[in-house]
Structure 1
Amino acid sequence: MTACAAGPVAAVAAALCVLAALPGQAVAAPADEPGGVPVYGMADDAKKVKGTAGSGEAPGIEPGTYTDSIGRGEKRYYRVELDAKASAFISAVAAPEPGSRVKGVGEGLKLALENVDGSACSGSGQPQFSAEGAAYPIADHATRLIGVNDQCQEAGPYLFSVERESPATSDPARWPLEIRFMSEPGLKGGPAAVPSAPGEDTAADDETPAPVTGGAKRQAHGGSGFNDAGSLSRGVWKDRIRPGETRFYRVPVDWGQRLNAAVELGSANSPGEYPPTIYDGLGVTAYNPARGQFDDDPFVSYTADKSAQAALYTPPVEYARRFGFSDNTPCVAGWHYLAVTVSPKLSKYFKSTASLTLRVDVKGKAQAGPRYAGDASAAGFGVSEADKEQAETGRNAADGKSSDTLQLVAYGGIGAGAALILGLAVWTLTARRRAAAAPGGFPAQGAPGGPGTQGEGQSGTVPLRAGHGPDQRYGPTHGPGPGAGPWPGPGQQQPPQQRQ
């Protein structure tokens, strides 16, 4: 651990210590560099937890992020304590090793949140693979929503479970899990204060609009998971992706808005004559801020001599939509995620990486959100001006956290530096006044240039002892010597206070 100084410069030293203590950000290799497909990037601050096969000994989890693993055919239990005011969103991400064998449709996870008496809450998730034989990260959440007509409205203990549904032909290796528990504050006034139902103008318009066109392409920086997803704003973005890889991006979507996105995979340079069509070659999946999956993830076919495009259009972010039967994924404001997957079968056409174009648009005008009884932004919900700025720059989530920390340290350092300069100025002025008030006009003890210092004297210099270099100056314990220090040598007049 770096030691931090104390005293007049403690504030500045503390700022420097914070900088020195900051964890180093792992810099991912550029997408066009050779190398293996990156694994899913777990959260740096995730806690380890071990779910149990039976509910009786299930470990407790609180709002935050956790890591675990799950074997083929296993079911893992976790215990949570919920009040009667906040809604709960508990997600699970399964991250098989790239190249793992999966059956495809029907294989994945089954998530549930239920009372200890076995009564299931209305919001469950079942993320599955949509591409035959391709392993990639899948995610969804289970929810307890306040105001929904189910058996989960009371305060008390609840059980969150993750079950892996895999056939015997699937990969036998354990899948890493990332579990995230998010608590959405209740509304001021309780369930009776729920905003009105969505209007017809937004609810009826479900046809996917045309993708964004025009404008220069900006460089995107896709991440390996939700935790380092690259930020995007409205416009056209470019990136590169390896066959078999999933890259994550995020877009701020506020209340009253919806995400419209289209992802294109470029054609191969040398596809050969009559290249075959690869089914499920390109896929894109959308998630809400709590990692709940919107509908099915669409995969499209790819032929090497042509480009392919996968598009999606999320529902409007309106609080009341969570009570409708048609929307299993609650709409909340905040970062919406895009997970782009390219089949490993495309490695026959792309030895390194393929070009990716992302056309991003956010439809609708931002509206005032519900009146929460607590701080929803601290819980991970809502869109801030800082989020919008980060999306414009294309920084990923990890870069954003580092930038915020460094900015805080910089502000602290500037404030501490200003205080230090002011303190030194006051100290110097006081010392000069003391020097002027000393007998004979000589510096007082402890003032700059006075006895016990090597600073500025009455003449502005400190004479050196004859025949000696600067490091031979006399200090306060040596006393004056012939021709040294600020005092005269033999035969010279002594200062008044030194006369015998």
Structure 2
Amino acid sequence: MAVALCLVAALPGQAAAAPSDGAGDVPAYQQADEAKKIKGTAGSGDAPKIEPATYSDSIGRGEKRYYRVELDAKSSAFISAVAAPKPGSRVKDIGEGLKIGLENVDGSACNGATQPQFSAEGAAYPIASYATRIIGAGDQCQKAGPYLFSVEREGPATSDPARWPLEIRFMSEPGLKGGLDALPGAPNDSAGTPEETPEPVTGGEKKQAHGGSGFNDAGAVSKGLWKDRIRPGETRFYRVPVDWGQRLNAAVELGSSGSPGEYPPTIYDGLGVTAYNPARGQFDADQFVPYSPDKSAQAAVHTQPVDFGRRFAYSDNTPCVAGWHYLAVTVSPKLSGYFKSTAPLTLRVDVTGKAEAGPRYAGDAAAAGFGVSEDDKAQAEKGQSAAEAERSGTLELVAYAGIGAGVVLILVLVVWTLMARRRTAAGPGAVPPPGSGVPGGFPGQGGQSGTVPLRPQQQGQGHGQGHGQGYSADQGYGPGPQQQRY
């Protein structure tokens, strides 16, 4: 068992990071550890090629970056871009953000272009969305061949002059079995997103959530009440498993300050929340609400049902796919005068609707990042990030291996002990069994191994020594002194 304990102790990075309530620098967006370094080009002619994976680049004010992709005629493509200006950077809430597009090399644009922009005056936070090529959408991008993905940074001359880190992720959704003939139709409009935000979840004990600094380290949450803490100027990410037939309804509450002062002001765009689908497509616009330090504030979002056919509805520009949905929560840096360290945050998460069987994919959609598994649901209940879930699985595997090694070690010790006792019981003069590594063993009668007591060499009697067959403890059977026979 000591072997198993040593194996567990030797694993690196197993210490769990406790949530910090202390003051410090606002954490920046955390890009994926496996992100590949790439450099997009200003012109499309020599754009670098990207494949389904995650990439790391940067973009300057007024720049447009090109990347080349090869698409088949069966899979839908989701290529996202996350721009992450440094917390505290100067941005505008109108006309500043990204233009993300996908086009054919002949210049014809695909329908799935987006323009994520900042919604809070002066508050820099990560913004994200994607460009898509949807099979069956009826645009000019249905054929197999080369395409160009582009990201353009828009903003006034007074905007942040620094280059922004850019994370690009290419996800490929397998086609359906049966091809275009198996595509579901568009849903009934009456099943769409309700005009009013549904009531948030109430009641129940709050669980501890661990928000991350980006999509890659987002902490999982499930249906219910969750608590966390957030710094002014920070954006924290959470992920929720939402299956086919379900929808996400979430409300985020920021608590009041402990010392708001006699006449606390109202801080516009003080609290915001944004929802994203599994491919990092943004649902609608960011939802920012005013905040007054003497009372709490609440921002809410809700998504349309995860229905494959909704991607073909004219009113829905965010294709619905099952999998991890994300919530990005932002608190204005202007609240730093009221929260010296961190502020209390409450998440009211609701996943409504019964989970349904998804479309019949012709490939492995789960491996591509689409769908909800039982492991995903378990991670959400535990509030784990993707890295924590992976470490937990590794620990479990090592624990099983350690238990197995311990059992084998115990069995070896038991067998060794029994053999030692058996030799002791046979006495010091016993011939050990064959195969024991000690000379003197020999097969017994009837094909069975046995032992005989050692005895000294026999000597002849009578008038002289004879040369007969005798047994020597040192030599075994061999020629011995002759015996006088009468």
Q: Which residue of 1 aligns with 2:392?
A: 403
Contact 1:247 1:341 in 2 (8 A): yes
Match of 2:271 among 282, 287, 290: 282
Contact 2:7 2:402 in 1 (8 A): no
- Cα distance, 1:207 vs. partner? 2.6
- Cα distance, 1:55 vs. partner? 1.2
The two structures have a TM-score, normalised by structure 2, of 0.84
Q: Which residue of 2 aligns with 1:297?
A: 286
- Cα distance, 1:199 vs. partner? 4.2
Q: Which residue of 2 aligns with 1:348?
A: 337
Match of 1:497 among 470, 473, 477: 473
In the alignment, structure 1 residue 272 sits paired with structure 2 residue 261: yes
In the alignment, structure 1 residue 50 sits paired with structure 2 residue 26: no
Q: 1:32 to 1:238 in 2, by over 3 A?
A: same
Contact 1:435 1:441 in 2 (8 A): no
Segments of 5+ residues of structure 1 without an aligned counterpart are 1-11, 452-494
Q: Which residue of 2 aligns with 1:118?
A: 107
Q: Which residue of 2 aligns with 1:184?
A: 173
Contact 1:226 1:337 in 2 (8 A): yes
Larger Rg: 2
Match of 1:320 among 302, 309, 312: 309
- Cα distance, 1:342 vs. partner? 0.2
Q: Which residue of 2 aligns with 1:470?
A: none
- Cα distance, 1:499 vs. partner? 7.3
Q: Which residue of 1 aligns with 2:297?
A: 308
Mapping 1:18-417, distance limit 5 Å: 20=10, 24=13, 30-199=19-188, 202-203=191-192, 205-415=194-404
* Counterpart Cα distance in 2 of 1:409 and 1:156: 45
Q: Deviations over 1:61-92 (max 9, x none)?
A: 11111111111111111111111111111111
- Cα distance, 1:363 vs. partner? 1.1
- Cα distance, 1:445 vs. partner? 8.8
The two structures have a TM-score, normalised by structure 1, of 0.82
- Cα distance, 1:406 vs. partner? 2.8
* Counterpart Cα distance in 2 of 1:412 and 1:25: 17
- Cα distance, 1:125 vs. partner? 1.7
- Cα distance, 1:312 vs. partner? 1.0
- Cα distance, 1:197 vs. partner? 3.2
Q: Deviations over 1:224-275 (max 9, x none)?
A: 1111111111111111110000000011100011000000111111111121
* Counterpart Cα distance in 1 of 2:424 and 2:362: 62
The AA in structure 2 aligned to 1:310 is A
Q: 1:97 to 1:360 in 2, by over 3 A?
A: same
* Counterpart Cα distance in 2 of 1:241 and 1:341: 9
* Counterpart Cα distance in 1 of 2:427 and 2:50: 70
Alignment RMSD: 2.9
- Cα distance, 1:412 vs. partner? 4.5
Q: 1:44 to 1:116 in 2, by over 3 A?
A: same
The AA in structure 2 aligned to 1:62 is E
Contact 1:249 1:339 in 2 (8 A): yes
Q: 1:151 to 1:416 in 2, by over 3 A?
A: farther
The AA in structure 1 aligned to 2:326 is Y
- Cα distance, 1:498 vs. partner? 3.1
Q: Which residue of 1 aligns with 2:450?
A: none
Q: Which residue of 1 aligns with 2:459?
A: none
* Counterpart Cα distance in 1 of 2:202 and 2:354: 20
* Counterpart Cα distance in 2 of 1:430 and 1:91: 67
* Counterpart Cα distance in 2 of 1:386 and 1:24: 22
Q: Which residue of 2 aligns with 1:6?
A: none
Q: 1:117 to 1:407 in 2, by over 3 A?
A: farther
- Cα distance, 1:119 vs. partner? 1.4
Contact 1:434 1:447 in 2 (8 A): no
Q: 1:496 to 1:207 in 2, by over 3 A?
A: farther
What SS class does the counterpart of residue 388 from structure 2 fall into?
A: helix
Q: Which residue of 2 aligns with 1:491?
A: none
* Counterpart Cα distance in 2 of 1:334 and 1:66: 21
Q: 1:124 to 1:27 in 2, by over 3 A?
A: farther
* Counterpart Cα distance in 1 of 2:71 and 2:345: 43
Contact 1:67 1:179 in 2 (8 A): yes
* Counterpart Cα distance in 1 of 2:399 and 2:292: 51
What SS class does the counterpart of residue 399 from structure 1 fall into?
A: helix
Contact 2:7 2:398 in 1 (8 A): no
Q: 1:446 to 1:48 in 2, by over 3 A?
A: farther
The count of corresponding residues between Structure 1 and Structure 2 is 443
Q: 1:273 to 1:403 in 2, by over 3 A?
A: same
* Counterpart Cα distance in 1 of 2:400 and 2:189: 48
- Cα distance, 1:443 vs. partner? 3.6
- Cα distance, 1:404 vs. partner? 2.3
* Counterpart Cα distance in 2 of 1:80 and 1:114: 10
The AA in structure 2 aligned to 1:275 is P
* Counterpart Cα distance in 2 of 1:247 and 1:389: 21
* Counterpart Cα distance in 2 of 1:427 and 1:88: 62
* Counterpart Cα distance in 1 of 2:185 and 2:39: 42
Q: 1:38 to 1:319 in 2, by over 3 A?
A: same
The AA in structure 1 aligned to 2:25 is G
* Counterpart Cα distance in 1 of 2:435 and 2:366: 54
Segments of 5+ residues of structure 2 without an aligned counterpart are 440-470, 477-486
Q: Percent identity?
A: 76
Contact 1:220 1:237 in 2 (8 A): yes
* Counterpart Cα distance in 1 of 2:419 and 2:64: 74
